[in-house]
Amino acid sequence: MARRVTQQDIARMTGVSQATVSLVLNGRDDGDVRIAPETRDRVLEAIRTTGYVADPIARRLAEKHNRILGVFTYESVFPAGMGDFYHPFLVGIEECAERVGCDLLLFTSAPVVDGRRRIFHQDNRLRLADGCILLGQWLDPAELARLLAEGQPFVSVGRRDDAGGPVPYVGADYPGATAAQVRAAVALGHRRLVYVGEGDTGPESHADRWRGFAEAAGPEGSRLAGPDLDAVLAEEKTCVFVEEFADGVALAQHAAERGLRVPEDLSIVALGDPTRSAPTDLDFTGFRIPRREMGWQAVEVLSAVLEGRPGEQRILPCEPVAGCTLAVARA
């Protein structure tokens, strides 16, 4: 088997020191030493022609980084039901990680406690990665607080404000997107509005939607915990805003069974993308979450943290969807 090419070999081939080869490989000069462009080009050409690959352990010691980014998910992302929701996040994470030259490590060994995964356990391998991106509708505030206290670099996909300190995150503007949909319904004559979902009793993404609805709907807005068509009809509501896309599908099916038409008899607005399988032929009015861009920007924020910059908190706009489930309010 051919001997592995080393930095010393590259140095001998190009007539420079091994330190110069190392500086070229790491893309930097050293103090007062400036590498001439022709020297840099000669070293790079030797690296290309020999197929030299830097020793990852040596690079790690030199740079103090593995160039590995971890991804921890509080919910399983591969079953078909959730995979469709999480796939765009992962695409964005992968694309940006490739752009910045990092590998990804998906943490899958975390145990499930009380129905939820836990980051910290006796076989915790979080430190194999330089930093970690956290995915999930629900993140444990105690674990976030511990990550902050221990100084472990991480970024949350989704707003988190309950960890006792500033959490770096990339979130979506759920309040603004929801309020815009409420205003659109009001402009079509809807006055009796109802929100279906957990609202402020759920995770931040649900609480943000409810806040946007409550502020825009005012006293005429109310909330139901689930897709109860009987309650909607009893209160003579004309437009329903569903926190979960699947609840909108269920309401539309129940309405059809009663001989009611969507949107002529009942308008339905979906506040985001499906988090679980909910087949339907209806093109729901509402908005889309910028999932791919959130994943991409989470890597950007984490990269900045690893470079020693303060962790950012970014909120991205959602994309409105005209759909066909919102119409002029019935008389």
What are the DSSP calls for 214-274, one per residue?
Answer: HHHHGGGEEEESS--HHHHHHTT-SEEEESSHHHHHHHHHHHHHTT--TTTT-EEEEES--
pLDDT, residue 54, reads: 60
pLDDT in tens, 131-182: 999 998 888 888 899 999 888 899 999 999 877 789 999 999 999 999 999 9
pLDDT in tens, 94-126: 999 998 899 999 988 777 766 677 788 767 778
Say which DSSP state 183 is in.
H
pTM of the model: 0.78
7-63: CATH number: 1.10.260.40
Least confident of 202-206, 247-251, 257-261: 202-206
CB 315 within 8 A of CB 171: yes
Q: Is 262 exposed, middle or buried (0-12, 13-18, 19+ CB in 10 A)?
A: buried
Terminal Cα distance for the chain, rounded: 83
Length of the chain: 331
CA dihedral 8, 14, 18, 19 (to 10 degrees): -160
Give the model's confidence band at 27: pLDDT under 50 very low, under 70 low, under 90 confident, else very high.
low
Per CATH, 68-172+291-317 and 174-288 having the same topology is answered yes
Cα–Cα distance for residue pair 4/178, rounded to 1 Å: 59
User: 236: how many CB neighbours lie within 10 A of its CB?
Assistant: 8
Domain boundaries in the chain?
Answer: 7-63, 68-172+291-317, 174-288
CA-to-CA separations, 269 to 174, 272, 326, in angstroms, rounded: 14, 9, 7
The amino acid sitting at 310 is P
The amino acid sitting at 78 is F
Could you tell me the CATH superfamily of domain 174-288? Response regulator (3.40.50.2300)
The amino acid sitting at 325 is T
Q: Which segment, 46-55, 84-93, 209-218, is predicted with the most confidence on average?
A: 209-218
Give the CATH class of 68-172+291-317.
Answer: alpha beta
